[in-house]
């Protein structure tokens, strides 16, 4: 089945230790998104790719970076995780901007 | 900033009853979307309604949109325990690069 896959589902990292979260899709969608969601809050968009074109939200900290080496894969790099970065990270895709989005199951990040 | 505000924040009903959730927004939109999120999981797209549409149905779901009042509602009829989840509205604004902006969500509990 076509889908959005995120690995790992749970990630524990130490304060300040770089961590990478991965996302892959079999939908062949042009747009891939990364959201941060903290407990009982709405998802907050960090950035998105339209094909290879990277678009950062204005309030996304520099600590967060992303790579999209090909259509199928997108990575979220957190260079120096702080305790405040503990959250659920959601990857999503859509055919075009503004279309319905397809979400992965999320990666729950814990920072110790 | 949060474009949509949802009401109520939490709703508890008995199985078989109808559940109504409301969403208000501030600026003109291209479309409005509703998503469901089960605890600890990714979001699932439910319905997309365009700014020139007033009502859409999908199974037991009915969505209305009133652009003059900048509001939408999601009705779930004959609710089931499996409908227990958080429900988010998200708007695609005319002047925000076609990105989704999520409301705070309604936590629905359906008691068996």
The two three-digit tokens of residue A14, written as one number: 């130490």
| Nearest by CB: B100 against A55, A88, A101 | A101
Cβ separation B40–A92 shorter than 8 A: no
Predicted pLDDT at A8: 93
- The backbone torsions φ and ψ at residue A104, rounded to the nearest 5 degrees and listed phi first, read -80, 175
CA R_g for chain A: 13
Cβ separation A45–B100 shorter than 8 A: yes
Using a pLDDT cut of 90, give the percent of chain B over it: 85
Q: Say if strands B19-24 and B71-76 run parallel, antiparallel, or are unpaired.
A: antiparallel
Q: For B52, how many CA atoms within 13 A lie in the half-sphere containing its CB? A: 0
Please determine, for residue B3, whether its predicted confidence score (pLDDT) is greater than 70: no
Predicted pLDDT at B1: 44
Q: Which residues does B contribute to its contact with A (CB < 8 Å)? A: 2, 30-31, 33, 35, 40-45, 48, 88, 92, 97-105, 107
Predicted pLDDT at B98: 85
What span, in angstroms and rounded, lies between the C-alpha atoms of B80 and B83?
Answer: 5
| Nearest by CB: B41 against A41, A48, A105 | A105
Cβ separation A43–B92 shorter than 8 A: no
Helix, strand or coil for residue B81? helix
CATH number for the domain that contains residue A23: 2.60.40.10
Residue A57's contacts (CB-CB under 8 Å, 6 or more residues apart) are A45, A46, A47
Point out which residues pair with A97 in neighbouring strands.
none
Report if residue A22 sits inside a domain. Answer: yes
| Nearest by CB: B97 against A41, A97, A105 | A97
Give mean pLDDT, residues A52-70: 94
Report if residue A53 sits inside a domain. Answer: yes
Please determine, for residue A104, whether its predicted confidence score (pLDDT) is greater than 50: yes
Predicted pLDDT at A1: 65
Please determine, for residue B36, whether its predicted confidence score (pLDDT) is greater than 60: yes
Residues of A in contact with B41 (CB under 8 A): 105-106
User: Which domains, from first to last, does chain B contain?
Assistant: 5-111 (2.60.40.10)
Report if residue A109 sits inside a domain. Answer: no
Cβ separation B45–A41 shorter than 8 A: no
Report if residue A112 sits inside a domain. Answer: no
CA B5 to chain CA centroid, nearest Å: 10
Please determine, for residue A24, whether its predicted confidence score (pLDDT) is greater than 80: yes
Range of the domain at A10: 4-101
Report if residue A80 sits inside a domain. Answer: yes
Q: What is the pLDDT of residues B63-106, one digit of tens each?
A: 999 999 999 999 999 999 999 999 999 999 877 678 899 999 99
Domain count across chain A: 1
Give mean pLDDT, residues A1-9: 88
Predicted pLDDT at A2: 64
Give mean pLDDT, residues A56-82: 95
Report if residue A57 sits inside a domain. Answer: yes
Please determine, for residue B62, whether its predicted confidence score (pLDDT) is greater than 90: yes
Helix, strand or coil for residue B34? strand
The two three-digit tokens of residue B104, written as one number: 């705070």
* C-alpha dist (Å) from residue A16 to A35, A85, A112, B111: 21, 11, 9, 43
Cβ separation A42–B103 shorter than 8 A: yes
| Coarse DSSP helix, strand, coil percentages of chain B, rounded to the nearest 5 percent | 5, 60, 40
What span, in angstroms and rounded, lies between the C-alpha atoms of A69 and B75?
Answer: 41
| Residue in B24, B8, B6, B15 with CA at minimum distance from that of residue B77 | B15
Q: What is the pLDDT of residues A80-92, one digit of tens each?
A: 999 999 999 999 9
Report if residue A106 sits inside a domain. Answer: no
Report if residue A107 sits inside a domain. Answer: no
């Amino acid at each position: 089945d076509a889908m959005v896959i995120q690995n790992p589902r749970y990630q524990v990292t130490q304060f300040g230790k770089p961590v990478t979260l991965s996302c892959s899709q079999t939908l062949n969608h042009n747009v891939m998104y990364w959201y941060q969601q903290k407990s009982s809050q709405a998802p907050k968009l960090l950035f998105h790719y339209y094909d290879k074109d990277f678009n950062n939200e204005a309030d996304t900290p520099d600590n967060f970076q992303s790579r999209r080496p090909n259509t199928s894969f997108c990575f979220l790099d957190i260079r120096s995780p702080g305790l405040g970065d503990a959250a659920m990270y959601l990857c999503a895709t859509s055919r075009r901007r503004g279309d319905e989005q397809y979400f992965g199951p999320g990666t729950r990040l814990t920072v110790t | 900033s949060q474009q949509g505000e949802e009401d109520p924040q939490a709703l508890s009903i008995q199985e078989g009853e109808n559940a109504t959730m409301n969403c208000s927004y501030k600026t003109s939109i291209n479309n409005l979307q509703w998503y469901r999120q089960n605890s600890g999981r990714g979001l699932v797209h439910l319905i997309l309604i365009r700014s020139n549409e007033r009502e859409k149905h999908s199974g037991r779901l009915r969505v209305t949109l009133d652009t003059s009042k900048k509001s939408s509602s999601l009705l779930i009829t004959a609710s089931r325990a499996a409908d227990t989840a958080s429900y988010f509205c998200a708007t695609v604004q005319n002047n925000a690069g076609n990105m989704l902006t999520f409301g705070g969500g309604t936590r629905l509990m359906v008691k068996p």
